[in-house]
Amino acid sequence: MPPLAMLISRTPNFAAQSCYPCPAIEIDGEFYARYAPILADRPAKRRVFRGYRPFVTCLGTATESEISPQPAHAEAEQLQVPTFDLRIAFVQLSRLRVLGTGQVMGIETEPYMRWKIGNQVWQPDFRATGAESFNFVIYDPEQHLTVTLWDRDLLSQDDLMGEAQTVAAVKAVNLSDTDVPLICPGNHSEETRQAGTFKAKIELLITAPGHQSQEGFVCVVRVRELLQAGSKIKGRRLAVRAKFKDESSITKAGAPMLDITETLPAKEMLHKIKDNMTDAGVEMEKIDQVLDLTSLRSSRFAINRSLHFVIKNQDADTEEIILDLVDMAKLDEMKKEAKKKGVFGSTSPASNTNHIEETRGDEVLATFTVKLSDVRASKGLALPGPFFFESEELGKIEAKMFVGLSGLEPTTTEIIEEMSADDVMAEMDLVSS
């Protein structure tokens, strides 16, 4: 088995200059399957040492007989796979200086909370104590959690009332079941600087691609590209939308890719062939007929986006993922019309920017479903395809994509501390000295 340094050098997204010498120890295949997403996350020194240290401190050295890496795991590692799930159950908001509804110029306002990691946003209803919960799926261990308190203002932009100290997402568990202060912005006296406190139960779970779990799963839909023979989809703005129960998430519109017959070298070669045939006295009509490569061309759109859903164990046996091929031009038109009607007129932030308004209409060109039970029963809990959209308007379109399940496993504060960027950087300083 190769040493860790060699495994890191083969990790996707790592540039050559990001590979640093590591002790030539043997590495457990299961560890690599679980922690490779962390290593592949970003080409930086701290990433290499961060992925290296948990293995040394928590798993020890593996023997040759214990090493059994699975191909399905290797496939999952080549994709953008979430690393952690931060599970939050809101408990209460207390000692709030403005409780309930307020009055500004005769117009009612009310406070709301906003939890944010990356582009994932959660606005819990703190009046429904104990009933609100949310899962933040974390791709980068260095992402941070921000918690803010706002006052909804119908006349202008909402007012920031208070904010908690920003914390690394993987260390948010240290705030679990404690009263966390929300500090008012600006200069305030000691009596007025605190807008209130909140309390929540927070758990951090690590994802294990291809592993069963009693704690649930993260389902990852990784869309690489859309492909079709011919040119029916050329010039279209197409995206893939995934839906699970009442959740919905969509990719960006695919970026068109040049067919090989449209590249400059191919065009230059065709031009030379045409000149040679003309010099040989071949009729122009026959030349155009021979060199017409339209029927050989294919249309490709690069998407390279991951969509994710947190799945409960019981849902993994009964539910399905619905996948829509979406005409983004049509969807944009529908959103503009909805905005004119005042559907999106509020100045308050959306409850979750990763979710979109549920729509069923002309924007959907084709649909197919993937049963989660099929994914769970497949080797490595992964379905690599092929997947096809059948559209009446555009014909058959292949979606090069991957649907997989990553089991969720509880982690400990010790492991979280081992992944501390500060500790790792300090250790790197010792190594360099």
Domain co-membership, 163 together with 136:
yes
Tell me which residue of 161, 189, 194 sits closest to 179, measured CA to CA: 194
CB proximity list for 333: less than 8 A, separation 6 or greater: none
Determine, yes or no, domain membership for 307: yes
Question: Is the model's pLDDT at 30 over the cut of 90?
Answer: no
Domain count, the chain: 4
Lowest mean pLDDT among 114-123, 283-292, 302-311: 283-292
Q: What is the pLDDT of residue 49?
A: 32
Domain boundary among 296, 312, 346: 296
Determine, yes or no, domain membership for 199: yes
Determine, yes or no, domain membership for 211: no
Domain co-membership, 396 together with 422:
no
Determine, yes or no, domain membership for 397: yes
Grade residue 261 by pLDDT with cuts at 50, 70 and 90: low
Q: What is the pLDDT of residue 364?
A: 95
Judge contact between 319 and 375, C-beta under 8 A: no
Query: For 145-184, how does the pLDDT look when each residue is reduced to its tens digit (9 = 90+)?
Result: 999 998 877 667 788 888 999 999 888 988 999 999 999 8
**Alpha carbon 129 to chain centroid distance?**
29
Q: What is the pLDDT of residue 266?
A: 72
Mean pLDDT for 246-265 is 83
Determine, yes or no, domain membership for 61: yes
Domain co-membership, 283 together with 137:
no
Give the C-alpha separation, 255 to 300, whole Å.
Answer: 8
Q: What is the CATH number of the domain that holds 158?
A: 2.60.40.150
Domain boundary among 141, 172, 206: 206
Domain boundary among 268, 296, 324: 296
Domain co-membership, 236 together with 92:
no
Q: What is the pLDDT of residue 109?
A: 58
Domain co-membership, 53 together with 146:
no
Tell me which residue of 175, 172, 229 sits closest to 197, measured CA to CA: 175
Q: What is the pLDDT of residue 325?
A: 96
Domain co-membership, 75 together with 110:
no
* Total Cβ atoms within 10 A of residue 106: 5
CB proximity list for 337: less than 8 A, separation 6 or greater: none
CB proximity list for 86: less than 8 A, separation 6 or greater: 117, 135, 136, 138, 145, 169, 170, 172, 173, 202, 203, 204, 205
Domain co-membership, 174 together with 39:
no
Angle subtended by helix axes 45-54 and 29-39, to nearest 10? 150
Mean pLDDT for 6-10 is 36
Query: For 295-335, how does the pLDDT look when each residue is reduced to its tens digit (9 = 90+)?
Result: 666 889 999 999 999 999 999 999 999 999 999 999 999 98
Q: What does DSSP assign to residue 170?
A: G
Domain co-membership, 95 together with 177:
yes
Query: For 189-236, how does the pLDDT look when each residue is reduced to its tens digit (9 = 90+)?
Result: 666 678 888 899 999 999 999 999 999 999 999 999 999 988 788 889
- Considering the chain, what is the average pLDDT of its residues? 73
Q: What is the pLDDT of residue 223?
A: 95
Determine, yes or no, domain membership for 197: yes
The residue behind tokens 């969807």 is: 331
Give the C-alpha separation, 87 to 149, whole Å.
Answer: 20
In order of 93, 160, 184, 193, the CA distances from 189 in angstroms are 22, 17, 10, 6
Question: Is the model's pLDDT at 6 over the cut of 70?
Answer: no
**Alpha carbon 280 to chain centroid distance?**
58
Give the C-alpha separation, 377 to 384, whole Å.
Answer: 13
Give the C-alpha separation, 259 to 297, whole Å.
Answer: 6
Q: How would you class 331 by CB atoms within 10 Å of its CB: exposed for 0-12, middle for 13-18, buried for 19 or more?
A: buried
How many helices and strands (H and E) does the chain possess? 11, 21
Tell me which residue of 90, 149, 88 sits closest to 120, measured CA to CA: 88
* Tokens read off for 308: 């994710």
Domain co-membership, 55 together with 189:
no
Domain co-membership, 269 together with 227:
no
Backbone angles phi, psi at 333, to 5 degrees: -60, -45
Determine, yes or no, domain membership for 360: yes
* Tokens read off for 411: 């982690």
Grade residue 108 by pLDDT with cuts at 50, 70 and 90: low
- E strand or H helix at 178: none
Amino acid at 334: M
Its domain, for residue 159, covers 84-206
Mean pLDDT for 285-289 is 81
Domain co-membership, 229 together with 369:
yes
Query: What is this structure's pTM?
Result: 0.65
CA angle 24, 41, 376 (to 5 degrees): 95
Domain co-membership, 64 together with 129:
no
Determine, yes or no, domain membership for 119: yes
